């Protein structure tokens, strides 16, 4: 049978025959998976199935025992988290890793701040950029002047995603993004994912099965 919905062209990511063991535990055993632009691929599995481990082989360069990784059709060598970013791979962890006491713009530009010609922080430019990218992801978001600790879980998630895509990520990895969210916020994350998909970003989404 021919799957007419199958994407064509070169996958953003092609992981082939990936295996990794920790001591005697085969955390990932001969897994192959690919991801095309504008595609959302879910990694489904129960707690301990190896979802986070497979993700971390891409994002933080867990050393695999075997297998190959291709990015845009070329074999990739990812040996640290910076390499992953170089390949346009951004990861959002459950913890989000936001700086709680500063606002959305400051979080988006954390460690890569925009400066004026005089060498001071260009807060105006950063807020303008933040409004642009947040406006695309979450048009209802207006709380630009508040520290992110005051935001809802869904809003915090959108700040973390905005930070990931601000610097041109083509591949977004989300490890159980809705684990700590209520139904309404989970729906909001679903909308964010559909928006990213429409923008041509490829998304790996890990989701637990059989829990709760």
Ligand X SMILES: Nc1ncnc2c1ncn2[C@@H]1O[C@H](COP(=O)(O)OP(=O)(O)O)[C@@H](O)[C@H]1O
C-beta of 53 vs 178, nearer to ligand X: 53
Angstrom distance (rounded) from CA 120 to CA 36: 41
91 binds Mg ion (CB under 5 A): no
* Integer CA distances (angstroms), 18 to 1, 132, 174, in order: 27, 38, 19
C-beta of 101 vs 209, nearer to Mg ion: 209
Instruction: Output the smallest distance, CB 41 to Mg ion, in A.
Output: 16
- Quick one: CA torsion of 90, 35, 204, 210, rounded to 10 degrees? -160
Residues 13-52 that bind Mg ion (CB under 5 A): 51-52
25 binds ligand X (CB under 6 A): yes
C-beta of 31 vs 165, nearer to ligand X: 31
C-beta of 51 vs 156, nearer to ligand X: 51
Residues 170-199 that bind Mg ion (CB under 5 A): none
Instruction: Output the smallest distance, CB 106 to Mg ion, in A.
Output: 29
27 binds ligand X (CB under 6 A): yes
Long-range contacts formed by 133-139: CB under 8 A, 24+ apart: 133/108, 133/162, 133/165, 133/166, 134/104, 134/158, 134/159, 134/162, 136/195, 136/199, 137/161, 137/162, 137/165, 137/192, 137/195, 137/196, 138/188, 138/191, 138/192
Structure tokens, 187: 């729906």
Angstrom distance (rounded) from CA 66 to CA 18: 6
C-beta of 22 vs 167, nearer to ligand X: 22
Among the listed ranges 51-59, 75-83, 85-93, 105-113, the one in contact with ligand X (CB under 6 A) is: 51-59
Instruction: Output the smallest distance, CB 161 to Mg ion, in A.
Output: 19
**What residue ranges bind ligand X (CB under 6 A)?**
22, 25, 27, 45, 47-53
**What residue ranges bind Mg ion (CB under 5 A)?**
51-52
């Amino acid at each position: 049978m021919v799957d007419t919905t199958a994407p064509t062209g070169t996958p953003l990511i092609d992981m082939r025959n990936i295996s990794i063991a920790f001591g005697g535990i085969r955390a990932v055993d001969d897994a192959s998976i690919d991801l095309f632009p504008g595609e959302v691929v879910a990694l489904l599995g129960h707690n301990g199935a190896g979802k986070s481990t497979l993700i971390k082989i891409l994002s933080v360069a867990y050393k695999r025992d075997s297998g190959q990784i291709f990015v845009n059709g070329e074999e990739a060598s990812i040996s640290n988290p910076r390499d992953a970013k170089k390949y346009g791979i951004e990861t959002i962890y459950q913890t989000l890793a936001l700086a709680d006491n500063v606002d959305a713009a400051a979080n988006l530009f954390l460690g890569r701040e925009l400066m004026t010609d005089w060498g001071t922080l260009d807060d105006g430019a950063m807020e303008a950029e933040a409004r642009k990218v947040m406006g695309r992801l979450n048009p209802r978001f207006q709380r630009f002047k508040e520290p992110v600790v005051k935001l809802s879980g869904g809003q915090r998630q959108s700040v973390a995603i905005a930070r990931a895509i601000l610097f041109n990520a083509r591949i977004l990895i989300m490890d159980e993004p809705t684990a700590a969210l209520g139904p309404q916020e989970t729906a909001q994350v679903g909308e964010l994912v559909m928006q990213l998909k429409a923008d041509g970003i490829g998304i790996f989404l890990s989701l637990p099965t059989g829990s709760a």
